[in-house]
Amino acid sequence: MRINDNYLKLKAGYLFPEIARRVSAFAHANPDAQIIKLGIGDVTEPLPEVCREAMHAAIDDMGDPSRFHGYGPEQGYAWLREKIAQLDYQTRGCKIDADEIFVSDGSKCDTGNILDILGKGNTIAVLDPVYPVYVDTNVMAGNTGAASDDGKYDGLVYLPVTADNDFTPELPKQKVDIIYLCYPNNPTGAVASKAALKQWVDYARDNEAIILFDAAYEAFITDPDIPHSIYEIEGARDVAIEFRSFSKNAGFTGTRCAFTVVPKSLTGKASDGSDVEVHKLWNRRQSTKFNGVSYIVQRGAEAVYTDVGRQQVGELVSFYLENARLIREALSAQGMNVYGGVNAPYVWIKAPNGMTSWDLFDKLLNEAHVVGTPGSGFGAAGEGYFRISAFNSRANVEAALDRITSNLAV
């Protein structure tokens, strides 16, 4: 039996397992250290009460034959899809219908699985630094060549985003077919204006390209001029798929629910040059390879769209944004160059004194017992940068900042 050789091209491992390995080694050597993790973007605060109540009720449904739920629609229950379409899209003027929403168990899954329905031979562009899943899943799918020493894979088009270009990528110089965008951005915390997104939509329309738009952090946008969805841009329905999640707004990282929007007007090309509806392909993929999200969890997600749900989610988001503000201010006061953390839960800092990203990682771990994420783990252009996540309790954030500002010799 032959294995998929493309996996052998993958570099030493997904970023976060490598961080876990170093933290584990440090903890083993320093058993008394109280390590504070501001690394992966994992929420810490309780699930909104309204979600817990809805899930309790759903479990009770499962105990009553007349209210028991077996297999649900692979695409998600209509009562959830309709609320998403109405409250996340239609109220913002986006023409998205309920049957264009596919409920799933995670945006990480969907951003990876979407490659199932895309063909070979596409030219693919990603920002650099970038959420590693976009790159690694393309490597696995055979859409790249081998990696060079700086971690770049042959065949991918990297669009650098650094302080030099204000974390705003230039349009690709060559024609690309697939573009991954993530706004508010992971890892840099940058946001995209309407004008910036319109440039991308226009580019995609002009080049018969498709935009894979990851909006997992849209709830953190407080500036009314920043679009929450790519579909707020005229014409995006024909060129974009959007990924959304309940992980970061409602704290569902351990509860698992997300959704992907595939408009019916989006088409791709078959090898004979004919147009094929991407919605039909994704529907077939999900019907065949997925069995829908737990009924219990979907009821929890539905509760997010009630008035009290929106209020409770709003409070959670505000809590983490306040953490981000504290991080920004403390590190700025320390003399660091600080980016992001406004309209986004990630603060992106420049490692001082020419340190590499992993230098700063090891320094923070060793001297302050604080875990962050090395920017170079997100791509070659992230070298010298470092991500601090605002997802933690207030006490932990304050303690971490206190240690950094008082203990760290920079």
Among positions 171-190, residues that touch its own copies (CB under 8 A) are 177-178
Stretch that binds its own copies, among 47-55, 163-171, 351-359, 372-380 (CB under 8 A): 47-55
Q: Which of 9, 10, 155, 168 is the binder for its own copies (CB under 8 A)?
A: 10
Query: What single-letter amino acid sits at 367?
Result: E
Quick check: 229 binds its own copies (CB under 8 A)?
no
Quick check: 45 binds its own copies (CB under 8 A)?
yes
Quick check: 113 binds its own copies (CB under 8 A)?
yes
13 or 145, CB closer to its own copies? 13
102-140 in b/e form (b: 16+ CB < 10 A) is bbbbbbbbbbbbbbebbeeebbbbbbbbbbbbbbbbbbb
Quick check: 289 binds its own copies (CB under 8 A)?
yes
Q: List, in order, residues 6 or more apart from 84 with CB less than 8 Å away.
A: 98, 101, 103, 244, 259, 305
Quick check: 99 binds its own copies (CB under 8 A)?
no
| Inter-residue contact 85 to 98 (CB < 8 Å) | yes
Quick check: 2 binds its own copies (CB under 8 A)?
yes
Q: List, in order, residues 6 or more apart from 356 with CB less than 8 Å away.
A: 374, 376, 383, 384
Quick check: 34 binds its own copies (CB under 8 A)?
no
Quick check: 284 binds its own copies (CB under 8 A)?
yes
Stretch that binds its own copies, among 90-98, 155-163, 206-214, 365-373 (CB under 8 A): 206-214
Q: Which of 93, 224, 254, 335 is the binder for its own copies (CB under 8 A)?
A: 254
Quick check: 262 binds its own copies (CB under 8 A)?
no
**CA 118 to each of CA 177, 360, 393, 403: distance values in angstroms, whole numbers, following the listed order:** 10, 38, 40, 47
Laid out side by side, the sheet with 124-128 consists of 101-104, 258-261, 240-245, 210-214, 178-182, 124-128, 156-160
Q: Which of 14, 87, 355, 403 is the binder for its own copies (CB under 8 A)?
A: 14
- Shortest distance (Å) from residue 340 CB to its own copies: 21
Quick check: 122 binds its own copies (CB under 8 A)?
yes
Stretch (H or E) spanning 175: none
